[in-house]
């Protein structure tokens, strides 16, 4: 399970114009220039004239989707391939996201992709761990609406905090190091760019109801305003979303609640488009600490190590008591994005964003702790007899930034240039309380971390001919970080550090069309990550610690033959200076431990993806990935790096029914217990899981006119249809975490 239990631990397309934007623009143009002859755009009941098509883009974003409808191409495919890209690039469709329950993280949609493992602990609503090409999510760049999401302290990404899958128009997925034109960091394993749905042209209210296995249920509402102020100088549309989710937990004593509120508005101001977005997430969930092999045999999938009694039968405190072990997190994300067309082939976009997070993780211990005490002084504190010290870990983050982009394009050239700036302030305070008196007894660390990142970039495409595009680009990464630990200061240890890092990261690519339906491509990208803030935790701070760097090469081909479309990609990533804990001499007879750029690694493989549109009702997909991910320095495989993955599925559609079934195969892999280089690798057995869903849409529901129905959809989703059981993680050599048994979820969405 993904948690923020220990804040000191490392957690594992530029702008686009939607059809609504074009329609709103058309209304303005039609009023001011009624004689202009332009393309006609029809979106529901809103019809208007639009100016020339949007400027060609080097990196395609998912097709515009509003909250009222999903285009047929999106629902008939779970993946679409960009034939013009100079690197592996896949659009995960809105249809694939629609197949997920409203309680899941959208990262579940990545699970069918080659060489991707999506590992879930208690439940996806409390977070997924994503591994691409054997690399964890701290090495994957996540964005939403072009806004970087990775934490700037540790590059962690908490998948459950941001946007539910039903509100996404699609995901642009890069399976290898992304281009210079994508802002953000941690892109060694690629980039996952999610885009939110736009408001629709008609007003509606949609209650959201769902219930399923393990006491899970949700109650929510989606409101779409439709087009407002069409005769004003600022026509606007917006949607509001609220959803409350609860689950009892498929293992005992692992309940979770989540409250999500989101809003998005689009306003046309003359030729410019202003988009406002807000998201708030409030969640509480308990920890699942695994199950011993003996316990699993006795209790099955309801087994865990957490207890509901604060005392053991011996009378000693039970640190696994559920009242001691839980997590709370409240976060909000917002942005304002202004898109201004300057002239034909020229656009400028500016996006200002802010993120606020307030986290709290609770646990307990019976061990003596060395703390900075509130009365002053640094010393040992022990719990009272038959009591515990309550461990409360706080993580408060404030992050704001700005991304400025300029796009210039003509028949032969496309130039995108811009700069991304991010400021991040974090406070980490691990506090202890006496269970007997509920009094604060001190902190074992209190850290203040400030990080500033500036990343200018340029990306240029030359269209040598209709068949040949060449892309070159670079971004310059500059980061400064300051770190202060007042507890370390009281303990007489090094406590204050200031560092800065800078590096130039080039990229280059080529796309050549052998025919209208067959293209080949190749790409090179250099990527880097400055060390995470917890580089200061080892016994000796290494002032020479440099960013991790890697070179990625990839080449592939895409083709379309009749109703079959496919892409085949080969990649190789070379890490030259992976950060590892190293033992060095202290100049005398002893040794010290420090972090150093001491590791080299190779991640290489092949991915093959396929779609078939069989007829008007049936479509199929099949994906296969082969992977070799290996630490050369340690002579070890990467955790969660199976030799191969495979997935296949089918989709059936008619006017009322939509059915999906898909199987995912993950080969043997390893789980790492402990840190490098003295970690232990335990086997994760191969497994195959099958998921299915069936939906019935009542376009004109019975008695709909009497009750005011515009639309209604009833859906059944079944996960792990074959009830396969397998180990997903270990906590030690005997304590295992198991996957969910077969489970279902039923939803009813009725639109008024």
Indicate the average pLDDT of the chain: 85
How high is the pLDDT of residue 271? 92
> 38 or 598: whose pLDDT is higher?
598
- pLDDT band at residue 45, thresholds of 50, 70 and 90? very low
Average pLDDT score over residue span 152-181: 88
> Per residue in 125-152, pLDDT tens?
888 999 999 999 999 999 999 999 998 8
Domain assignment present for residue 39? The answer is: no
Q: Which of 596, 598, 482 is nearest to 539 (CA)?
A: 596
- Tokens representing 417? 């240039």
Angle at 275 between CA 269 and CA 278, to 5 degrees: 145
When pLDDT is cut at 50, 70 and 90, the band that residue 538 belongs to is low
Sort strands 141-144 and 191-196 into parallel, antiparallel or unpaired.
parallel
- pLDDT category of residue 421 using cuts at 50, 70 and 90: very high
* Residue 524 belongs to a domain: yes
Summarize pLDDT for 638-652 with one digit per residue, the tens: 889 999 999 999 999
Decide if 632 contacts 83 (C-beta within 8 A).
no
Residue 199 phi, psi (nearest 5): -65, 150
The domain total for the chain is 1
Greater confidence, 24 or 81?
81
Task: Give the pair of three-digit tokens for residue 204.
Answer: 């509606």
The continuous run of DSSP H or E covering 295 comes out as: helix 293-299
What CATH number is given to the structural domain containing 333? 2.40.170.20
For residue 156, the model assigns a pLDDT of 87
Residue 115 belongs to what domain range? 54-751
> 46 pLDDT exceeds 50?
no
Helix H or strand E encompassing 489: helix 486-490
Backbone angles phi, psi at 399, to 5 degrees: -135, 130
Confidence of residue 22 (pLDDT cuts 50, 70, 90): very low
**18 within some domain:** no
The pLDDT score that the predictor gives to residue 210 is: 96
**Whole-number pLDDT of residue 701:** 56
Three-state DSSP state, 75: helix
Task: Using alpha carbons, select from 187, 165, 154 the residue that is nearest to residue 107.
Answer: 165
Residue 66 DSSP code: B
| pLDDT on residue 9 | 34
Q: What is the pLDDT of residue 576?
A: 85
- Average of per-residue pLDDT across 230-235: 88
In the predicted model, what is the mean pLDDT of residues 499-515? 94
Total residues belonging to the chain: 752
Residue 728 placed within a domain: yes
Which pLDDT value is given to residue 38?
Answer: 29
| Window from 100-109, 121-130, 534-543 with minimum mean pLDDT | 534-543
What is the model's pLDDT at position 542?
Answer: 77
Within-domain flag for 22 = no
- Minimum mean pLDDT among 213-222, 255-264, 669-678: which range? 669-678
d(CA 98, CA 100): 5
Determine the Cα–Cα distance for residues 649 and 732; give it in Å rounded to an integer. 36
Question: Which residues lie across from 215 on neighbouring strands?
Answer: none
Of 23-37, 246-260, 468-482, the one with minimum mean pLDDT is: 23-37
pLDDT for the residue numbered 30: 32
What is the separation of C-alpha 123 from the centre of its chain, rounded to a whole number of angstroms?
A: 15
Quickly tell me which residue has 């996952």 as its tokens.
192
Locus of tokens 């302030």: 425
In a domain, 494, yes or no: yes
Q: Is the pLDDT of residue 56 over 60?
A: no
**pLDDT for the residue numbered 5:** 33
Asked if the peptide bond before residue 677 counts as cis, ω within 30 degrees of 0, the response is: yes
- The residue behind tokens 């670079």 is 474
User: What pLDDT digit, counting tens, does each position of 57-108 carry?
Assistant: 445 567 778 888 888 888 899 999 999 999 999 999 998 998 898 889 999 9
Does residue 34 lie within any of the structural domains?
no
Alpha-carbon distance 314 to 366, whole Å?
15
Strand-pair partners of 418 = 405, 457
pLDDT at 493 over 60: yes
705 vs 83: which has the higher pLDDT = 83
Residue 522 inside a domain? The answer is yes
Predicted local distance difference test score (pLDDT) of residue 698: 79
Segment 431-473, tens digit of pLDDT: 999 987 778 999 998 999 999 999 999 999 999 999 999 999 9
User: Which residues are CB-neighbours of 624 under 8 A, at least 6 positions away?
Assistant: 114, 607, 608, 644, 645, 646
101-105, 220-224, 242-246, 491-495: lowest mean pLDDT where? Answer: 491-495
Higher pLDDT, 4 or 387: 387
pLDDT in tens, 564-611: 999 999 999 998 888 887 776 666 666 777 788 878 889 999 999 999
What does the pLDDT read at residue 61? 66
């Amino acid at each position: 399970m993904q948690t923020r239990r220990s804040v000191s631990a490392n957690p594992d397309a530029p702008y686009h114009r939607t059809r609504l934007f074009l329609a709103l623009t058309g209304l303005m143009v039609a009023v001011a220039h009624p004689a202009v002859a332009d393309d006609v755009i029809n979106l529901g009941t809103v019809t208007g004239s639009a100016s020339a098509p949007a400027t060609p883009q080097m990196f395609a974003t998912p097709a515009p989707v509003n909250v009222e409808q999903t285009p047929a191409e999106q629902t008939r495919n779970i993946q679409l391939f960009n034939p013009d890209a100079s690197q592996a690039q896949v659009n995960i469709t809105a249809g694939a996201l629609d197949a997920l329950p409203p309680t899941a993280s959208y990262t579940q949609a990545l699970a069918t992709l080659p060489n991707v493992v999506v590992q879930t602990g208690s439940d996806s609503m409390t977070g997924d761990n994503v591994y691409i090409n054997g690399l964890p999510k701290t090495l994957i760049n996540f964005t939403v609406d072009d806004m970087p999401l990775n934490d700037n302290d540790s590059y962690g990404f908490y998948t459950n905090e941001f946007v539910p899958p039903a509100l996404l128009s699609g995901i642009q997925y890069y399976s290898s190091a992304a281009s210079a034109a994508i802002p953000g960091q941690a892109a060694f394993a690629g980039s996952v760019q999610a885009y939110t749905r736009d408001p629709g042209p008609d007003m509606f209210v949609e209650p959201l109801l769902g219930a399923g296995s393990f006491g899970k249920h949700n109650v929510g509402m989606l409101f779409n305003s439709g087009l407002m102020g069409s005769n004003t100088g600022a026509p606007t549309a917006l949607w509001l979303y609220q959803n409350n989710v609860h689950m009892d937990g498929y293992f005992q004593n692992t309940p979770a609640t989540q409250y999500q509120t989101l809003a998005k508005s689009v306003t046309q101001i003359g030729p410019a488009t202003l988009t406002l977005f807000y998201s708030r997430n409030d969640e509480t969930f308990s920890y699942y600490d695994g199950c011993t092999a003996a316990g699993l045999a006795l209790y099955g999938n309801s087994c865990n190590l957490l207890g509901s009694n604060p005392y053991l039968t011996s009378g000693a405190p039970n640190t696994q008591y559920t009242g001691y072990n839980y997590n709370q997190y409240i976060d909000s994300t917002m942005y304002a994005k202004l898109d201004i067309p300057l002239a034909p082939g020229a656009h400028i976009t500016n996006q200002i964003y802010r993120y606020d997070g307030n986290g709290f993780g609770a646990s307990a211990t019976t061990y003596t702790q060395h703390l900075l005490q509130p009365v002053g002084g640094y010393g040992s504190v022990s719990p009272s007899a038959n009591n515990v010290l309550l461990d409360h870990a706080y993580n408060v983050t404030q992050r704001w930034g700005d991304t400025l982009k300029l796009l210039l394009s003509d028949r032969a050239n496309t130039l995108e240039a811009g700069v991304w700036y991010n400021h991040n302030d974090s406070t980490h305070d691990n506090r202890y309380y006496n269970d007997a008196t509920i009094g604060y007894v001190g902190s074992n660390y209190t850290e203040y971390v400030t990080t500033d990142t500036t990343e200018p970039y340029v990306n240029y495409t030359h269209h040598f001919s209709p068949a040949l595009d060449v892309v070159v680009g670079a971004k310059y990464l500059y980061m400064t970080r300051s770190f202060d630990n007042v507890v370390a200061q009281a303990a007489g240890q090094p406590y204050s550090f200031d560092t800065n890092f800078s590096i130039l990261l080039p990229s280059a690519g080529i796309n050549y069309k052998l025919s209208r339906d067959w293209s080949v491509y190749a790409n090179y990208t250099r990527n880097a990550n400055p060390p995470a803030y917890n580089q200061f935790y080892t016994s000796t701070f290494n002032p020479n610690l440099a960013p991790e760097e890697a070179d990625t090469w990839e080449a592939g081909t895409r083709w379309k033959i009749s109703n079959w479309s496919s892409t085949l990609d080969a990649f190789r990533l070379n890490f030259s200076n992976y950060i590892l804990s190293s033992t060095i001499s202290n100049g005398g007879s002893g040794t010290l431990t420090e972090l150093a750029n001491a590791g080299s690694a190779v991640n290489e493989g092949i991915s093959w993806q396929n779609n078939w549109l069989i007829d008007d009702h049936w479509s199929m997909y099949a994906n296969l990935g082969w992977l070799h991910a290996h630490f050369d320095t340690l002579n070890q495989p990467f955790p969660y790096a199976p030799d191969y993955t495979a997935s296949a599925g089918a989709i059936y559609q008619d006017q009322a029914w939509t059915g999906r079934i898909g199987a995912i195969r993950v080969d043997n892999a390893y789980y790492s217990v402990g840190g490098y280089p003295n970690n232990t690798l335990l086997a994760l057995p191969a497994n195959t899981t099958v998921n299915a869903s069936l939906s019935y849409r009542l376009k004109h529901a019975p008695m709909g006119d009497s009750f005011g129905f515009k639309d209604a959809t009833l859906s059944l989703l079944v996960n792990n249809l074959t009830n396969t059981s397998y180990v997903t993680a270990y906590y030690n050599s005997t304590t295992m975490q198991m996957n969910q048994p077969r489970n279902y979820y039923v939803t009813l969405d009725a639109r008024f």
